[in-house]
Structure 1
């Protein structure tokens, strides 16, 4: 098979453009369904998006281990990237359902239901220092989300998420966890996760939430799916 372009962005950067969770974006029309999971595993990002119809926002999301019906950072990143390519794309369509997209200043946000996404084990810790001191080697299964208040009245949180079930040691920024935590706590949140990524949530009626953030481009790559698969 010929090579395909792999566009890369960092999702949920801080205001200066640092940090963020890397995301691979591939034209799904160039990669058959049977090769998407192997390619996502080969690329090694926490998620890879395959865009099947850029005009209508139809896409699939894969971690290195499995397809995901919804995930936050891939949908935010895909929405930003499609807009940068000239597509209006006010709705994304993933297996979980339709996802409205909004853009305010430099934030791109997606709307999702708090029941979507992975199942997390939640641990509220006493301080941000305890969150930062945690070791990913202590977590060998599932999706474990550690968090503490930075400023409870202001709704600011420090967090990390360990995700061996996704085939990665630690997820830098987890949008679906942010939507679920906003619903659990019943309020809007500003979350700093991982090395310093920023996620912004808003609480909506009936379990709906938005999660958004800033996105920054990275240099593209190329990959050759199929027999003898390689990433260039």
Structure 2
């Protein structure tokens, strides 16, 4: 059966460059037993399957898959899904994922934001390096194992600006271009708002709430719509 896949880039720069590719699929088009196979075939760091809400509904249910496993929560798929729903004319206030209910906001300056509990994000091994150059030159093969790895350095500690890369081979992702869940963990770890530049130049904005919530926001663009047999 042919399945239509919208391909987005989430957490782009203001100029629409970079960003993490995301596959978005109408959940009704794919049997639950076939979702992992399709996500593996597509090969994006995540693919999200959305139950399309009825007109006027304020929430939508979604399931997120990496090439290797299903995730209870992830940042760039929920931001991308919220943007995609608004783009098709069915904006929502919340997304229901296995981890819980994700709050959604659409800002006047073109950002799409979601708020999640810090504990919903998986644990990452965090490595503060001495310079941005060290982050840029980090070799993913030096970070194997059964957890994600977050390498980072300040570009301006006073402004909460940092540069990072994320390696997650345990879920089938050698390197993730822009990782919202890791941004949630990092924001909670540092207990402050952040402006994160990850990978080749993707941009993630975060806001820390001492009650355990983290808001993550970014820009989204649509690359293509494709059909997979």
Shorter chain as denominator, the TM-score bin is over 0.9
Cα separation, 2, equivalents of 1:155 and 1:119: 21
Alignment of 1:63-74 (within 5 A): 63-74=66-77
Structure 2: gaps (5+ residues)? none
Which position in structure 1 is the counterpart of 2:166?
161
Tell me the CA shift for residue 168 of structure 1.
1.6
Equivalent position of 1:77 in the other structure: 80
- Aligned equivalents of 1:196, 1:40: Cα separation in 2: 25
Distance in structure 2 (CA, Å) of the matches to 1:188 and 1:49: 27
Which digits, 9 at most, give the CA deviation of each residue in 1:152-189, with x for residues without a partner? 00000000001101202100000011111111111100
Q: Contact 1:8–1:24 (CA<8 Å) still a contact in 2?
A: yes
2:124 paired residue among 120, 137, 152: 120
C-alpha contact 2:123 2:185 (8 A) present in aligned 1: no
Q: Using the alignment, how far apart are the partners of 2:43 and 2:198 within structure 1?
A: 20
Assess if the C-alpha contact under 8 Å between 2:121 and 2:184 holds in 1.
no
Q: Distance in 1 between matches of 2:91 and 2:82?
A: 9
Alignment partners' CA distance in 2, 1:54 and 1:173? 27
SS of the residue corresponding to residue 191 of structure 1 reads strand
- 2:85 alignment partner, SS class: helix
RMSD of the alignment, in Å?
A: 0.9
1:172-210, Cα deviation, whole Å (9 max, x unpaired): 000011111111111100000000000000011311110
TM-score between the two structures when normalised by the length of structure 2: 0.95
Q: TM-score, normalised by structure 1?
A: 0.94
Q: Distance in 2 between matches of 1:54 and 1:135?
A: 42
Task: Report the count of equivalent residues.
Answer: 223
Partner in structure 2 of residue 189 of structure 1: 194
Equivalent residue, structure 2, for 1:13: 12
Which residue is 1:139 aligned to?
Answer: 143
For 1:202-213, what aligned pairs fall within 5 Å after superposition?
202-213=207-218
- Contact 2:113/2:217 (8 A) holds in 1: yes
Unaligned runs of 5+ in 1: 225-232
2:114 to 110, 115, 121: 110
Q: Which residue of 2 aligns with 1:220?
A: 225
User: 1:87 Cα deviation (Å)?
Assistant: 0.7
> What residue in structure 2 maps to residue 88 of structure 1?
91
2:175: which partner in 1?
Answer: 170
Could you give the per-residue CA deviations for residues 12-51 of structure 1, whole angstroms, max 9, x where no partner exists? 0001000000000001001011000011001000000001
Displacement of 1:219: 1.1
